[in-house]
Structure 1
């Protein structure tokens, strides 16, 4: 059995969030990362994350990241320049090399309108770095020594041209209001997909199917044709099915 699939899946906690994606594509938001290199590196970067896990192995991921999701083809991911993240073991030679390069090249206070090509390239690498293993906090619970590499994450991060502030200090949003205001900088950015790119629509329960079919039918901009809706109806599966049947 393959350890990865031909589909990458984005999970979310609520049905409203999934409906928003189906109607208006993926929106960016700043996500906080605490990467353990030679020392801790804290940053928040605009991104959308996906996992590359076969449905038969996805049960634990649903429990941590939500019962709603959308799966898209790897061809779509490659066309839109997504990439698997680089998992780093803390205190490894590679971690130290990346941290030392970060300390050498990036100033403590980045002037975004004067940033060099080398600095942009390094920031783009750092935005695709993640802990191989560390503590995971989800819903007020802390899972010790969680192996992030099991998620096989793929990540989309917008270019400097689309979003000048490629990474920020997460301390700028100490309150929920500050976090909302920070993410407003990204409100016009989208990661787009077409109906033919969709492999799965994952919802929590079977009794929600008709509700999501109506969302597809009424989607603004006539994004989904009658034939698209007919085809996508066959691609709706439930988290209940995944947990019990796969």
Structure 2
């Protein structure tokens, strides 16, 4: 293994400011929190709450700074474990990329059409696959955005 490869561990980290939270994770499971997200394009902004558990993929040299922001108590999980358990990294998008505005505008149109439905029968006509596109927002984050945890579930 080269020195360069060793800077990127095969581990995802989850940090907490409270050691009791870490013990709760070890004794039961991770708790989902709502994180307030903002996907910002050139002409559009979409703000929403996303239920998530945050993991980070850091170089070892970045751990100290990250721990200063998110807490000194952490747990590391192999990327293999994450893959087996269906974890997926977020996709970072640039505020200046046309994709971001196109995506925001497309989903705003979907939300508008869903909001205009007044009849339960009409709503039932929307397939689960159409609704699942909204789930994509859970995996999109604007570059340089800050995570704000709102509430534990």
Which bin holds the TM-score, normalised by the shorter protein? 0.7 to 0.9
1:22 to 21, 26, 29: 26
Name the residue aligned to 2:139.
128
How many residues were matched structurally? 140
Name the residue aligned to 1:239.
none
Unaligned runs of 5+ in 1: 139-169, 171-178, 184-246
RMSD after superposition: 2.6
Q: How far apart, in 2, do the equivalents of 1:100 and 1:93 lie? A: 11
1:29 to partner: Cα distance: 1.9
Task: Tell me which stretches of 4 or more aligned residues in structure 1 moved more than 6 Å.
Answer: none
Name the residue aligned to 1:192.
none
Name the residue aligned to 1:50.
55
1:24 to partner: Cα distance: 0.8
TM-score, with structure 2 as normaliser: 0.78
Q: How far apart, in 2, do the equivalents of 1:78 and 1:20 lie? A: 23
Q: How far apart, in 1, do the equivalents of 2:40 and 2:127 lie? A: 25
Task: Answer with 76-85 or 50-59: which moved more.
Answer: 50-59
* 1:9-30 per-position Cα deviation (integer Å, ceiling 9, x unaligned): 0011111110110111112122
1:35 to 17, 39, 55: 39
TM-score, with structure 1 as normaliser: 0.51
1:8 to 7, 12, 26: 12
Name the residue aligned to 1:70.
75
1:102 aligns with 2:107: yes
1:131 to partner: Cα distance: 1.1
